[in-house]
Amino acid sequence: MPATFDAASLSERKQLQQPQAKAKEDEVEQLTGLPVLLKYAILLMICAMAFLIRLFAVVRYESVIHEFDPYFNFRTTKYLTAEGFLDFLDWFDDRGWYPLGRTIGGTIYPGLMLTAAVLYWLLQALNFTVNIRNVCVFLAPLFAANTAVASYLLTAEVTGRSGAGLLAAAFTAIVPSYISRSVGGSYDNEGVAIFALIATFWLWVRAVNTGSMLWAAAAALGYFYMVAAWGGYVFIINIVPIYTIAMIVGGRYSARLYVAYSTFYALGSLLAMQNVKLPTSRRHALHGCRCRRHQRAVPFVGFNVVRQAECAASHGVFVALQTYALGRYLVAAVDARALRRLLVGAAAALVGAVAAALVALQLAGRVQWTGRSLTLLDPTYASKYIPIIASVSEHQPTTWTSFFFDLHVLVPLAPVGLLLLFRRVTDGALFVLIYGTLSWYFAGVMVRLMLTLAPIACILAAVAMSELLHRYCGAIAYGDAPPPPPQQQQQQQRAAAAGGGAREGGPPGLLNQPLSFVVVAGALATMCLYAFHSTYASSIAYSNPSIVIEQRLRDGGRLIYDDYREAYYWLRHNTAPDAKILSWWDYGYQMSAMSNRTVIVDNNTWNNTHIATVGRALASTEEEAYPILQSLDVDYVLVIFGGVAQFPSDDINKFLWPVRIATGVFGGDMPGENDFMSATGQYDVGEAGSKVLHNCLAYKLSYYRFAELDMGPGRGRGFDLVRNKYIGNKFFELTTLEEAFTSEHWLVRIYRVLPQANLEPAADAPPLPSRTGRANAAPQKKAVYEARYVGCYYSEADFEGREYVGGAYGANLGLIHEHARAFGRRYFATARNDADGHAFVFDAVTSEAAATAGGGCERACADDAAAACGCMDAACSAPKPAAEEHNRRWAVYEVMPPKRKAK
């Protein structure tokens, strides 16, 4: 391979510089014999190292899938291998997002699963009976080895030195940032996507260097794979056009560039349209349900490439490149100065028109930015507008310590590499420069994007290190005055002629042998440090499966908490197969994979409203949460509690996020973030904390009967080990839920939602004797309310002192009734749409006579077919009254005092 990359770096010089620069050609090394063998042997060892350094978790714990998202990927892969590809595409999953469900096939990046499945089928065909779980566990380390090879190829292509390539491969193989996402068991998109990224960039640089359609097509195929694997494909489709523009502006346009970009664009964007799926579903986070209908209209076809603003640059650059190429042809053919001006004007007008059209489309809402991309351009965007994106820890801005921890020695070395490449810019070097600069910015915005920075930082550092070793090892080998290679001689002559002095070779006095030894030894020591640091980071920081929690004891021993799996398996074996389990979304994937039960929300955060509803349930008091739990058919509620096991990221510590996300949707309808703070503005679970916090569902479920537990000498009862506080609300009873299961170290607590009939027994039904045995009784999910139907109104102006509540309240009599009673309002009115509607609570009706019978008022409620809930718009059978803005029929009720109190 390395013997052929010369053609490129040379021919472009041809057009730019004088023929004497041709001497550069000789710089490309020609290896033969033993060095070639040695090179491949080293590369092989690097691959082995890349694989092995990621196996700490497998050796220490077991071959198990880690974290959260990998569990979903694992589950889908199992489905794929069991059911085949077509069924996988058509898969509608009813185990998540109850009651909405989710079309899996159309809303995920299938690249990872397909890779694993193909590998699995291949191994099976070869009679290696490997478990699919093991394929998934070892896939990421395997691809890390591939990435090392890819970065070798890219570096060798750019620098023309296989030494630099090997260094880059070695750096990449063990860079902690990449290890963090690709340890054994971390079965996530990034594992294969980083390989796809680097491979695509290598193919692209090669395409530019050779001007071959074949390499450009290969780059397009690499891009296709990337699109299938990870949302980071946006990175490629923007870097490549930016690079192309930089080449044109920098006067480096060549036929090779034209061929490479045109072919890449034409094939790449067409291929990408075959399977861009996820962005539509991700966009739901912004627009709620509205987009979903739109997505259903075009299943499995990604028009996003056309519609998304992220891809606009590629279209614009394509047009610009065609125009520029045409212009160049004309200038060459006609050679008229006037023409040149004409052409420049025309090109500027064209580019301006395209830009204006894009801006217009953007303003008209025809093209859309995804929230994450906007976060990249404006780092404060997410925290201002989309709490669901801001709440994810990997979307936070990067701190400088994590730069150093994840890149270590690469941080100081990479800028040196940049500098060296600047001094001798070639087409390939320019690409690396642009990639390096941009990814450095992106990495600063989002922690997650450290991952795209890591490979390029390795490459740049390798360029620097290679240059350093090259120079000083040369000095050691040849003594004080190394015989410069022929082209360097020429350069020196030229430089001397220009009066610049012999800077290229460095001041001769500095290159004496002892000093060279010191420098080389220092470089080697630095690299050893880097290797030690990487191993340390891999072992300590990144090999934590997070499904098994490890605690270091004071004597240095390890304590393993296996509570998650204990609880998930309890659910699997002790609950009804169709049980619905509510928890905060973090645990959805694990639960559906390990418990095989239906969950309300999971880690695919596609529906903000649904997540907000769950957040609201957790943030409400037990009584207020109950109707929400009922409306979602919840059978069990699961909370993570770390107060005993000293596990800091439990639901109480995460609790402000559910509150923020819920208030983002429900607004002033529920207690806000400040209501959960103590008088001094602290988030405090102790005595001084807010009463709202002490009575909310998440708090109660976490601390139920906690005060009965003695936490050891000096602490006594009710002492929370994570927050180091005595809890504020110690003794309370649960009325609508009962404890079903608590894991060994209290890490997972599961509660059963009691059926409603027991809460408010009907007057004629005998009250149930006790709580025991109720679990087996079939839940009676009929809404309970004591309200008198007043009449049917068409005008909301008749409701005195009205206060609007919408959403699910407008369709569920139980909910709105509960709401009206909780806020002490006498009347309430609903106009139902489908699953939601409009609703008011108010104090008095101004006119009795305004009622008009019928016309749609009699439409049933969502939760009770026997009661009327009104109608809106087209659902109303009667025409719109002339004075009204909307056609609505309000079913008005008067709240009656609860019967229980009457007894």
Binding site for other proteins (CB under 8 A): 7, 11-12, 14-15, 210-214, 216-217, 220-221, 254-256, 258-259, 262-263, 265-267, 269-271, 273-274, 298, 301, 303, 306, 322, 325, 328-334, 336, 338-339, 342
CB of 259 to other proteins, least distance (A): 4
Nearer Cβ to other proteins (125/297):
297
Q: Do 593 and 74 touch, CB atoms closer than 8 A? A: yes
Nearer Cβ to other proteins (184/428):
428
Nearer Cβ to other proteins (36/326):
326
CB of 132 to other proteins, least distance (A): 28
Q: Where are the alpha helices (DSSP H) in 174-212?
A: 176-182, 189-210
Paired tokens of 738: 């009962």
What's the CA gap between 869 and 858, in Å, rounded?
7
What's the CA gap between 228 and 25, in Å, rounded?
38
User: For residue 66, which amino acid is it?
Assistant: H
Nearer Cβ to other proteins (212/575):
212
Nearer Cβ to other proteins (260/662):
260
Nearer Cβ to other proteins (4/20):
4
CB of 223 to other proteins, least distance (A): 12
Nearer Cβ to other proteins (338/763):
338
Sequence-distant (≥ 6) Cβ neighbours of residue 582 within 8 angstroms: 599, 600, 614, 617, 629, 632, 634, 636, 637, 638
CB of 157 to other proteins, least distance (A): 17
What's the CA gap between 472 and 479, in Å, rounded?
10
Beta bridge partners of 844: 800
Following CA atoms 587, 143, 122, 594 in sequence, which dihedral angle do they give, to the nearest 10 degrees?
-10
3-state secondary structure of 311: helix
What's the CA gap between 269 and 262, in Å, rounded?
11
Nearer Cβ to other proteins (125/333):
333
3-state secondary structure string, 7-53?
HHHHHHHHHHCCHHHHHHHHHCCCCCCHHHHHHHHHHHHHHHHHHHC
Nearer Cβ to other proteins (329/478):
329
CB of 28 to other proteins, least distance (A): 17
CB of 213 to other proteins, least distance (A): 4
What's the CA gap between 741 and 751, in Å, rounded?
7
Nearer Cβ to other proteins (155/263):
263
What's the CA gap between 346 and 129, in Å, rounded?
64
CB of 301 to other proteins, least distance (A): 5
Paired tokens of 665: 């949707």
Looking at residue 683, what DSSP letter applies? -
CB of 328 to other proteins, least distance (A): 5
Nearer Cβ to other proteins (134/322):
322
CB of 263 to other proteins, least distance (A): 6
CB of 211 to other proteins, least distance (A): 5
Q: Where are the alpha helices (DSSP H) in 108-229?
A: 111-125, 132-159, 162-173, 176-182, 189-210, 213-229
What's the CA gap between 266 and 260, in Å, rounded?
10
Angle made by CA atoms 121, 123, 127, in degrees to the nearest 5: 110
Q: Do 46 and 146 touch, CB atoms closer than 8 A? A: no
User: For residue 319, which amino acid is it?
Assistant: V
CB of 354 to other proteins, least distance (A): 15
Nearer Cβ to other proteins (210/631):
210
CB of 265 to other proteins, least distance (A): 8
Nearer Cβ to other proteins (252/694):
252
What's the CA gap between 408 and 815, in Å, rounded?
56
* Per-position b or e across 607-645, b if 16+ CB within 10 A of its CB: bbbbbbbbbbbbbbbbebbbbbbbbbbbbbbbbbbbbbb
Task: Please report where in the chains the tokens 């408010």 appear, as a residue.
Answer: 760
CB of 104 to other proteins, least distance (A): 21
